[in-house]
Amino acid sequence: MARHGLIVTYYFPPAGGGGVQRWIKFIKYLSRLGWRFTVITAQVEKSNPLDPSFLDELPSDITIVRSSETQTRAGWLGRIRSRLSGSYWLRWLSAWYYVTDSRIGWNKMAATNIQQQIEQTKYDVIIFSSPPYSLARLATSVAASKQQPVPVCLDMRDPWTINPYKIYPTPFHGFWDKKREKQSIAGVPLIISAYRSTIDHYRDCIPHFNPANCLYLPNGYDEEDFINLPEYRLAPADHCHIAFSGSFYSHLNKPDVLFTALSKLKNRGIKIHFHHFGESVYDVSKLAKSFDLQDQFHKWGYQSHRECLKKLQAMNAYVLILNEGIKNADKTIGGKVYEYLRLRKPILALIPEQSEAARLIRDTDSGIICSGLKIDSVIEALTVIYLKQRRFTFKNIEQYDRYRQARQLQQFFEEKLA
């Protein structure tokens, strides 16, 4: 029998970025397996990158309900946000003012939309996609409501309080957010997590937490995205090119050690070009210039998903940076890494050696893991990539295919919604 799911997610096409892809792909493939979906989402923010091409992947029978935030855009913080979007200090200011996150104002309208939907239509499950983490609080509220009998599932795309990107201005903010997280997770019947460490964390800190009601479902790649991908030629064609796709944050993945290594190699006559696809909270071009790498640094900015893949496939290798000096850097990966795997090019991983990301790279034999604090090891790894001194097998990456993952998710729901 066909299932009907109600998805509540703040980020949805035509918004772009990594946060929208997970449920775009689940909707795409679960629809082929007989599911129908209604999506409750926010109005698209003009300040966010757009990628309308994602709309082409949605099934024709999907219903999309859009609503605006009611509280977070007004006043002095909204004016500051428009000027400092993405900066560390805006995120710090926002974290001071909003203990969980600044999207909390959307919950009220989303709750109204949810109630309207369940009064009009029979759903098999309501799925909340977090972050924003405030949606986890809404999921708990909906699950506790005696007026709605629909099972609730929370998908944690990212860790919450153990997320290295999280900023807490004071210990009180961290304490209060952890308390809210525990209350929220304990109040949701079903949980999906993109990270094993997140499930382990909840098992250790939440009384009576039942991992049997959780599904570990990492991010992945969509095989159809790579069909007939146009060829792209990099210049100079005979040089080595490496790339990073995603956002640079000053406190977590600043590429200063990488640039130091590239600069030292340049002095030895080894020239490696570095390409950045995405955004940054600081001027990466200026940083590259300070290392005399301006002729080797290529800033592409945000690209549509297919355009980014087209250019990425032309690279010789990819870079993953997670500063091991930052707390909880071992508990995140980044969605783009799974597409690196599918492209089958080496990954230079400047990450904690004992981390979830390192485990992924070791298990798939897909790259070189070295300490981001040891320049000599980074230079050695870059030399190996430049000289093509090592072959990688990229074993068992098929488990991260989005279609296979959708089948796992379908089986989970069939077992838990019976």
333-362 per-position pLDDT tens digit = 988 999 999 999 999 999 999 999 999 999
Same domain, 274 and 294: yes
By CB neighbour count within 10 A (0-12 exposed, 13-18 middle, 19+ buried), where does 386 fall?
Answer: middle
Model confidence at 148: pLDDT above 50: yes
Distances (CA, A) of 226 to 80, 210, 283, 308, 310: 40, 38, 31, 11, 9
Same domain, 203 and 292: no
Q: What is the pLDDT of residue 92?
A: 59
Same domain, 260 and 201: no
User: Tokens 């301006």 belong to which residue?
Assistant: 294
H runs (alpha helix) in 313-374: 336-343, 356-364
Q: What is the pLDDT of residue 73?
A: 45
Rounded to whole angstroms, how far apart are CA atoms 243 and 348?
Answer: 10
Q: What is the pLDDT of residue 75?
A: 42
Same domain, 392 and 410: no
H runs (alpha helix) in 121-255: 134-144, 171-186, 196-205
Same domain, 161 and 268: no
How many Cα atoms occupy the beta-carbon half-sphere of 416 within 13 Å?
22
CATH number reported for the structural domain that contains residue 146 in this entry: 3.40.50.2000
Rounded to whole angstroms, how far apart are CA atoms 298 and 313?
Answer: 16
Same domain, 200 and 315: no
Among left, alpha and beta (phi > 0; psi -120 to 50; other), residue 17 is: left
Which segment of 32-46, 99-113, 149-163, 184-198 scores lowest on mean pLDDT? 99-113
- SS3 of 272, please? strand
Model confidence at 203: pLDDT above 90: yes
Same domain, 182 and 158: yes
For the chain, the average pLDDT equals: 90
Same domain, 251 and 197: no
Same domain, 290 and 348: yes
Rounded to whole angstroms, how far apart are CA atoms 189 and 412?
Answer: 13
**Nearest by Cα to 337 from 405, 257, 394, 262:** 394
* Strand stretches in 73-133, DSSP E: 125-130
Same domain, 255 and 294: yes
Mean pLDDT of 26-35: 97
Number of domains within the chain: 2
More confident residue, 196 or 88: 196
What domain range is 124 assigned to?
A: 4-220+402-416
Same domain, 365 and 238: yes
Same domain, 116 and 253: no
More confident residue, 89 or 398: 398
